[in-house]
Amino acid sequence: MMTAEGKIIKGVGGSYYVSTENGLVECSARGRLRRELVPMVGDMVSVSIDKDGTGSIDRILPRRNFLVRPSVANIDILLLVCAAASPEPDLTLTDKLLATAASKNIEGVVCVNKTDLVSDENAEMLVSIYRGAGYRAFTVCAREGKGIPQITELIDKKTVAFAGLSGVGKSSLLSLVTGRQLTVGDVSRIERGRHTTRHVELIPAHGGYVLDTPGFSRLEVEGIKAQELRLFFPEIAKYEGQCRFRGCTHTAEPNCAVIAALEKGDIAKSRYASYKQMYEILKNIKDWEENK
C-alpha cells in the first residue's frame, strides 16, 4: 500500500475521484473521517492506495474556504457570468454572489457574455459598473468565440467556479475553455435556462481547474451579518471611517460619506441598491436563525 496527496475533483455517491501525481484514484472515505468532516470536491486530501489501484481518504488537509450550496472547497475565483441580453442581466444576483465570494475570501470576477446581442456601448456600460467598483471585469461572446483568452488566463494554477443564472452561456463558455462538449439546456420562453449538470466536478484546463456545477444561481448569502456587509462591497468599504457617525449603516444617516459618493456618481446606483436591499434582509435575521 502506498500513500499520496491529491485533490478531489469529483464526488458521486460515496465515491471520490482524487487527482494525484500517480493519476486519478477512485477513493472511499473512512468511516471515522465521514463522521468528523465530510469530504468536498476541491479538498486537498491524503489517501492510501491499494494494490488494485483504488484508495481511501485518510485525512482532509486544511481548507482555505468552502461553500455549502453547492458543496465545494478551495475556490480561488468565482467567475460571475451574466448575459448582456436574453436573459436580461440580473445585477442584484451578481452583486449578491460577489459579496458572498468576498465573505469567503474568494476573488469575484465579472464576465459579460452574449455581447453580439447588444451595442458595444451597452456591453461596456455593464463592465464599467464592476470595474468602477474595483473588480476585474471583461466582455466575451461564446457564440463568436471572442474573449476566451481572458478566461483561460484566469485559470492558470487556479480553481475557477463559473456562476450566474441559467441561460447566460456558462456551459458554452466551459465547452470553449475545456474543449469538452458540455450539455447546454435550451433557453425557455421565459428566458430561464434548463440546468443539465448533475454533479459537482472539477475539470482540468489550462494548468488549473474549472468548476461545472448546478446550484450557483441559488447560492445563499450565508454567514454575513448586516453590520459586516459594507466590507464586502469594495467601493463602499473604502469610505470606512469617513462618515459622521461611527457604525454608520450607509442607508439613511446624515453626513454619510457613502451616500455623498453615490450622489456624486462615484458609486453605481445599481450597486448601492443591491447593498441596501441585502442590508435590509440581513438586519432582520436573528443570530439563532444564522446558526440553524
* Structure confidence at residue 219 (pLDDT): 54
Q: Are residue 119 and residue 211 in the same domain, yes or no?
A: yes
Range 25-53 average pLDDT: 88
Measured in whole angstroms, how far is the alpha carbon of residue 133 from the centre of its chain?
17
Percentage of residues in the chain with pLDDT exceeding 90? 72
Select the more confidently predicted residue: 25 or 185: 25
- The packing angle between helices 120-133 and 269-282, to 10°, is 50
Reported as a pLDDT band with limits 50, 70 and 90, residue 185 is: very low
* Structure confidence at residue 200 (pLDDT): 79
* Structure confidence at residue 4 (pLDDT): 94
Q: Are residue 200 and residue 75 in the same domain, yes or no?
A: yes
Reported as a pLDDT band with limits 50, 70 and 90, residue 197 is: very low
Select the more confidently predicted residue: 258 or 70: 258
Q: Are residue 124 and residue 267 in the same domain, yes or no?
A: no
- Is the predicted pLDDT of residue 117 greater than 90, yes or no? yes
Say if 209 falls within a structural domain.
yes
Torsion angle defined by CA atoms of residues 5, 11, 12 and 14, in that order, rounded to the nearest 10 degrees? 60
* Structure confidence at residue 201 (pLDDT): 85
Average pLDDT, the chain: 87
Domain boundary among 177, 195, 218: 218
Closest CA to 118 of 82, 152, 91: 82
Q: Are residue 83 and residue 211 in the same domain, yes or no?
A: yes
- Is the predicted pLDDT of residue 122 greater than 50, yes or no? yes
- Is the predicted pLDDT of residue 292 greater than 60, yes or no? no
Range 18-37 average pLDDT: 85
Q: Are residue 78 and residue 32 in the same domain, yes or no?
A: no
Distance CA 242, CA 236 (A): 11
* Structure confidence at residue 198 (pLDDT): 53
Say if 292 falls within a structural domain.
no
pLDDT digits (tens, 9 = 90+) for 220-244: 566 789 999 999 999 999 999 999 9
- Is the predicted pLDDT of residue 291 greater than 80, yes or no? no
Its pTM stands at: 0.88
Domain holding 6, by residue range, is 2-62
Question: Domain tally for the chain?
Answer: 3
φ and ψ at residue 137, rounded to 5 degrees: -150, 145
Select the more confidently predicted residue: 285 or 168: 168
pLDDT digits (tens, 9 = 90+) for 124-183: 999 999 999 999 999 999 999 999 999 999 999 999 999 888 889 998 999 999 988 765
